[in-house]
Amino acid sequence: MEGNESLKPELASEAVDAIEKVVGTYPGYRRAHARGYVYKGVFTPNGKASPLTVAAHLQDEAVPAVIRFSNSSPVPTHPDADSPVKGMAVKFRLPGGEETDLIAVTIPLFFAKTPEAFVEIAHFIKSAKDGFPNLKELGGILLKYPESKAGLQMLKEMRSPASFATCQYYSIHAFYLMNAEGRRQAIKYEWVPDSGLSMLEKKEAAEHPADYLKEEMEERLKQGPVGFKLNIQIGGENDPADDPTIAWSEGTQVITVGHLMITDKVDTTADHLLFDPTNTPEGIECSNDPILHFRHRAYAVSYERRTHGQ
Ligand code: HEM
């Protein structure tokens, strides 16, 4: 079965409804990663992915790119420091007018293995927000979804970055690269910052202005472009390609396949861009990860609402 075809179609709306129930509705904004800033840049591949894929942007010609950095919170006014997981969504503009998206976050694991688990955990978060977290209920959730423990624990320990440019971003999901002979290789992506990693202590982060990351990027770009290496992690025999709650083994081979240079800010308040993690070009296929395919539907629901005044 490809992805999650057996899921009931309403589950994507239910997931977005669940997010709205937890935080409220902010018309015009994305239902997750609501506050973000858009930039433009150029991605230059180094040819090292060519034996693995025919994807146009991973050969030897540079392509323009649009980049959106975001806070993960669904609340657009949420202070940057209170929403430690950050997003980096990249749209590569391929020759011939095609586009492909690569969406990554600063955490390597997701807390839900299935869309049903996501919806149930979102409802639990709502009950925890209304009062004290019900520990018995949390225990019940972890018993039912033991695979969620690692991702939830990691979320708890996340710290805010000094800059969007000082984080490593992970695709979490696996994809298959397809080469000219039709050979398929499971990979995951990582963006590694040229500036190195830098996180803030909790107290230090709390003293920063609510939108310090926006200002920081503005200042940084005045000094010159912001760069990231694009790495691919090569999945081994025991690395599951369909489970976003499991990190791949430590020893997996990592290959740098290109470099992104972010050059300018794009002025947009309410942007109508849609980054879809399943939007892949010839030479790249989605894995069967049910969360990956579910995101395609949930993002369409959020896009439809936010671009129609809701
Ligand atoms: C059940 C799982 C998930 C649900 C229901 C969900 C839901 C959403 C929604 C509704 C949006 C707003 C879409 C839009 O209006 O354009 C969004 C954006 C986003 N999500 Fe997810 N998400 C899920 C999993 C993930 C995972 C695993 C990642 C890790 C890469 C991720 C990273 C992002 C990022 C970076 C954005 C912002 C994209 C942009 O800048 O346009 N999400 N998510």
- Please indicate, yes or no, if residue 212 is contained in any of the structural domains: yes
DSSP 131: S
Taking alpha carbons only, the member of 43, 49, 47 closest to residue 254 is: 49
- Please indicate, yes or no, if residue 4 is contained in any of the structural domains: no
Q: For residue 67, what are the domain limits?
A: 10-306
Q: What is the pLDDT of residues 81-110, one digit of tens each?
A: 988 999 999 999 999 999 999 999 999 999
For residue 131, how many other CB atoms are within 10 A of its CB?
Answer: 7
| DSSP per-residue codes, 169-209 | EE--S-EEEE-TT--EEEEEEEEEETT---B--HHHHHTS-
Strand partners, 190: 170, 231
- Please indicate, yes or no, if residue 97 is contained in any of the structural domains: yes
Alpha carbons 208 and 212: distance in angstroms, whole number:
6
- Please indicate, yes or no, if residue 41 is contained in any of the structural domains: yes
- Please indicate, yes or no, if residue 2 is contained in any of the structural domains: no
Is a pLDDT exceeding 90 seen at residue 143? yes
Backbone angles phi, psi at 261, to 5 degrees: -115, 115
- Please indicate, yes or no, if residue 229 is contained in any of the structural domains: yes
Question: What's the CATH code of the domain at 177?
Answer: 2.40.180.10
DSSP 27: T
CA 209 vs. chain centroid, Å, equals 24
In a mutational test of the pocket of ligand 1, which residue from 21, 29, 33, 191 has the highest number of ligand atoms less than 8 Å from its CB? Answer: 33
Q: What is the pLDDT of residues 266-295, one digit of tens each?
A: 987 668 999 999 999 999 999 999 999 999
Query: Does 104 or 251 have the greater pLDDT score?
Result: 104
- Please indicate, yes or no, if residue 255 is contained in any of the structural domains: yes
- Please indicate, yes or no, if residue 40 is contained in any of the structural domains: yes
As a whole number, the mean pLDDT across the chain is 93
Query: With 0-12 CB in 10 A as exposed, 13-18 as middle and 19+ as buried, what is 169?
Result: buried
What does the block give as tokens for 154? Answer: 């990691």
Q: Which residues line ligand 1 (CB under 6 A)?
A: 15-16, 30-33, 36, 68, 70, 87, 89, 103-105, 110, 112, 115, 118, 172, 244, 274-275, 291, 294-295, 298-299, 302-303, 306
Active site residue 123: no
* Domain total in the chain: 1
Which alpha helices (H) appear in 207-271, and where do they start and end? 212-223
Q: What is the pLDDT of residues 167-219, one digit of tens each?
A: 999 999 999 999 999 999 999 999 999 999 999 998 999 999 999 999 999 99
Of all residues in the chain, what percent carry a pLDDT higher than 70?
Answer: 95
Backbone angles phi, psi at 111, to 5 degrees: -90, -5
